[in-house]
Structure 1
Amino acid sequence: MSWRFVSLPPQDGYHMVTSFVSVADYVSRGGKDTLLVFYADKPFVNVGVHQEVWLEVNLEFTKKMGISVVRRDLGGGTVVITPGEHDYFIVVRAEEAPSTPKALYEKYLTPVVNVLKSYGINAELRDQDIVVNGKKISGNGAMTYDKAVVVTGNILLSLDVDLISKCVKVPSEKFRDKMAKEMSDWLTSVEKEIGYVPPREEINKRLKEEFEKWLNVKFEDASLTPEEIQLWEKLARDKMNEEWVYYKDNRHPELKTERCVKINNAVALCHIDYKARKLLRITVKIVSKKIDEISISGDFFVMSPKGFIEELEDSLKGVDVAKYQEVVKKMFEDKKPVIFGFAADDLIKAIDELMKKPEVQEVI
């Protein structure tokens, strides 16, 4: 089988997070499966599609430094992308892709693991990440687009822990110092592992070789088509729109709190962070013993259906606090979402825990 190999020059954040969508559109219309590689020309903060910017990003610092905040179409957590990464995007026809996230990642990330091993790095796949002796060296995500599936990720060539820690929102500066130290403990890079950064051309050559061997395919060096470039430019412009960047924040303007407060005898506002397989961040406004509004955010991945989280939030509006479990279960049964990071039971447990907070108990 013949694949395209496309290597692009460095790009800004808006072009970084939209390139694979235009390629997925091409593949959906019958184009060849594609491996796309390039990297960022300058640092930017990349928030997951299901995250709220105000909860995740140190906006005071990013604005002061002129660092863009970009919302991608993929789930996962907030990451600070720097020119020290080598990014790849694997775009294939949906019928070729395994239906479970675990099998999908194994199929398309094993060649990346093998490239790292070729440098003497003890790399292994753990869920959707590639780790070296327990430290992450590659973060990855996946999404469906029409008739295509996209797996996107990076190889950390070098790390700027100081910059990364300053871009992320934390409770205090003391905590930021602690986070920077912890980041050094759970992140690694090719440079840290082998003492130097290999040339990107060499990494690309090895990626091609490993993908060809593992998937039994043959690459042809190619460029993006004029149609892909045209769509890519439009999508990048759309991503620059602040309405999109702050979409999740603006959807719930009254739910900006990281604590629980009783507003009066009938109203409470409460937030909880709940660790399922991935992090769930839930904020609920209770009015007269009903869920007036709920925000469900976090670093999880929703493979399908598109818009499931928003539909789930909407379905819970106006629901009696004693009946939300039934609504959650029915939504999961009816829509059969493919989610990497949490299940219906996790969400119910998280909301249960939130409902047990004293501030909430006083109004229900």
Structure 2
Amino acid sequence: MSWRFAALPPQDGYHMVTSFVSVADYVSRGGKDTLMVFYAKEPFVNVGVNQEVWLEVNLDFTKQHNIPVVRRDLGGGTVVITPGEHDFFIVIKQEEAPSDPQSLYKKYLTPIVNVIRSYGLDAQLRDQDIVVNGKKISGNGAMTYEKAVVIAGNILLSFDADFVSKCIKVPSEKFRDKIAKDMSEWLTSMEKELGYVPDRNELNKKIKEEFEKELGIKFEDSSLTPEEIELWDKLAEEKKREEWIYYKDNRHPDLRTDRCVKISSAVAVCHVDYKARKLIRITVKIVNKKIDEVSISGDFFLMSPKGFLDRLEDSLQGIEVSKINEKIDEVFSSEKPVIFGFTADDLKKAFEEILNKPEIREII
């Protein structure tokens, strides 16, 4: 089986997060499966499609230092992308991809694991991440687009924990120092492990060899088609629009709290962070024992169906708090979402945590 291998020049953040869409469009129309490799021209903050920017990003710092905030089409958490990464995008026909996320990651990330191991490091696949001695060296995610599946990921070549911590929203400066320390403890890089940064051309050669060996394919070196590049540029321009970057924020402009507040004897706004396999962040306004508005965000991966999260939020709006579980079961049963990171039961437990807050108990 023949695949395309495209080693592209460094890209800005908007092109970084849209590259796979134009390629997925090409693959969906019968084009060859494709593996692309490239890296960022400059640092940018990369927010997951299911996240709210105001909850995740230190906007004072990013605006002061002209660091772009870019919302991608993939799930997962907020990450700060720098030229210290080596990024890859695997785009394959949907019928070739395993239907469950764990099998998908195992099949297509094993070659990357083997590349890291070729440098003498004990790399292991853990869920969708790759770790060395328990520390993450590669973060990855997946999504479906038309008739294609995309796996996007990176290999950390070098990493500046202090810089990254300044881009992320935290409760206090003391906590920021802790975050930087924690990141240094649970993230690693090729430079940290080896004492040097591997040559990118050498990495690309190893990546090609491992994919060919593991998947039984042959690569042809390729560039993208003129049609792909035209669509890519168009999509990158669209990603610069604030309507997209702040989409989740603007959907719920009145739900801006990271705590629980009783507003009156009938009204309260409450936020909880609930840790399932991934983080679920729920902010809800309750009026007269009914959900007036709700925002569900987090670093989970929603692979299908498209728009499920918006429809879930809309379906909960206006229902009595006693019927939340019933409505969640109904929506999950009818839409059968493929989610990596939480289940319907996790979501119900998160709402239960909200309903048990003193501020909420007083009004229901």
TM norm structure 1: 1.00
Tell me, in whole angstroms, the C-alpha distance in 2 between the residues paired with 1:163 and 1:16: 20
Please name the residue that 1:297 is paired with: 297
Please name the residue that 1:106 is paired with: 106
Please name the residue that 1:182 is paired with: 182
- The 5 A counterparts of 1:9-28 are 9-28=9-28
Tell me, in whole angstroms, the C-alpha distance in 1 between the residues paired with 2:317 and 2:305: 20
Tell me, in whole angstroms, the C-alpha distance in 2 between the residues paired with 1:239 and 1:5: 25
Tell me, in whole angstroms, the C-alpha distance in 2 between the residues paired with 1:211 and 1:296: 37
**1:210 equivalenced with 2:192 (yes/no):** no
Tell me, in whole angstroms, the C-alpha distance in 2 between the residues paired with 1:198 and 1:351: 47
Please name the residue that 2:50 is paired with: 50
The offset of 1:338, in angstroms, is 0.3
Please name the residue that 1:87 is paired with: 87
Give percent identity, aligned residues only.
75
The offset of 1:168, in angstroms, is 0.2
Tell me, in whole angstroms, the C-alpha distance in 2 between the residues paired with 1:187 and 1:40: 19
SS of residue paired to 2:263 = strand
Task: Give the partner amino acid of 1:269.
Answer: V
Please name the residue that 2:265 is paired with: 265
The offset of 1:353, in angstroms, is 0.6
The offset of 1:37, in angstroms, is 0.4
- The 5 A counterparts of 1:147-186 are 147-186=147-186
Task: Give the partner amino acid of 1:132.
Answer: V
Please name the residue that 1:145 is paired with: 145
Give a deviation string over 1:306-336, Cα, whole Å, max 9, x none. 1111100000000001001100001111100
SS of residue paired to 1:264 = coil
Please name the residue that 1:192 is paired with: 192
Please name the residue that 1:61 is paired with: 61
Tell me, in whole angstroms, the C-alpha distance in 2 between the residues paired with 1:135 and 1:121: 12
Task: Give the partner amino acid of 2:255.
Answer: L
SS of residue paired to 2:271 = strand
SS of residue paired to 2:321 = coil
Task: Give the partner amino acid of 2:270.
Answer: C
Please name the residue that 1:343 is paired with: 343
Please name the residue that 2:282 is paired with: 282
Tell me, in whole angstroms, the C-alpha distance in 2 between the residues paired with 1:253 and 1:111: 43
Tell me, in whole angstroms, the C-alpha distance in 2 between the residues paired with 1:305 and 1:5: 29
Tell me, in whole angstroms, the C-alpha distance in 1 between the residues paired with 2:73 and 2:100: 19
Tell me, in whole angstroms, the C-alpha distance in 2 between the residues paired with 1:56 and 1:150: 24
Give a deviation string over 1:164-189, Cα, whole Å, max 9, x none. 00000000000000110010000000
Tell me, in whole angstroms, the C-alpha distance in 1 between the residues paired with 2:76 and 2:326: 27
Task: Give the partner amino acid of 1:248.
Answer: K
The offset of 1:162, in angstroms, is 1.0
Tell me, in whole angstroms, the C-alpha distance in 2 between the residues paired with 1:239 and 1:127: 29
The offset of 1:2, in angstroms, is 0.1
Tell me, in whole angstroms, the C-alpha distance in 1 between the residues paired with 2:114 and 2:124: 9
Task: Give the partner amino acid of 1:108.
Answer: Y
Tell me, in whole angstroms, the C-alpha distance in 2 between the residues paired with 1:134 and 1:306: 34
Q: How many residues align?
A: 364
After superposing on structure 2, the runs of 4+ consecutive aligned residues of structure 1 that deviate more than 6 Å are none
Please name the residue that 2:35 is paired with: 35
Give a deviation string over 1:98-152, Cα, whole Å, max 9, x none. 0000000000000000000000111000000000111000000000000000000
Tell me, in whole angstroms, the C-alpha distance in 2 between the residues paired with 1:275 and 1:157: 29
Tell me, in whole angstroms, the C-alpha distance in 1 between the residues paired with 2:201 and 2:268: 56
Task: Give the partner amino acid of 1:197.
Answer: V
RMSD (Å), alpha carbons = 0.4
Please name the residue that 2:306 is paired with: 306
Give a deviation string over 1:59-87, Cα, whole Å, max 9, x none. 00000000000000000000000000000
* Unaligned 5+ runs, structure 1: none
Tell me, in whole angstroms, the C-alpha distance in 2 between the residues paired with 1:261 and 1:192: 44
Tell me, in whole angstroms, the C-alpha distance in 1 between the residues paired with 2:328 and 2:32: 39
Task: Give the partner amino acid of 1:322.
Answer: S
SS of residue paired to 1:67 = coil
Tell me, in whole angstroms, the C-alpha distance in 2 between the residues paired with 1:100 and 1:29: 23
Tell me, in whole angstroms, the C-alpha distance in 1 between the residues paired with 2:134 and 2:118: 18
Tell me, in whole angstroms, the C-alpha distance in 2 between the residues paired with 1:291 and 1:324: 9
Please name the residue that 1:361 is paired with: 361
The offset of 1:155, in angstroms, is 0.1
Tell me, in whole angstroms, the C-alpha distance in 1 between the residues paired with 2:41 and 2:151: 21
Tell me, in whole angstroms, the C-alpha distance in 1 between the residues paired with 2:197 and 2:114: 17
SS of residue paired to 1:348 = helix
TM norm structure 2: 1.00
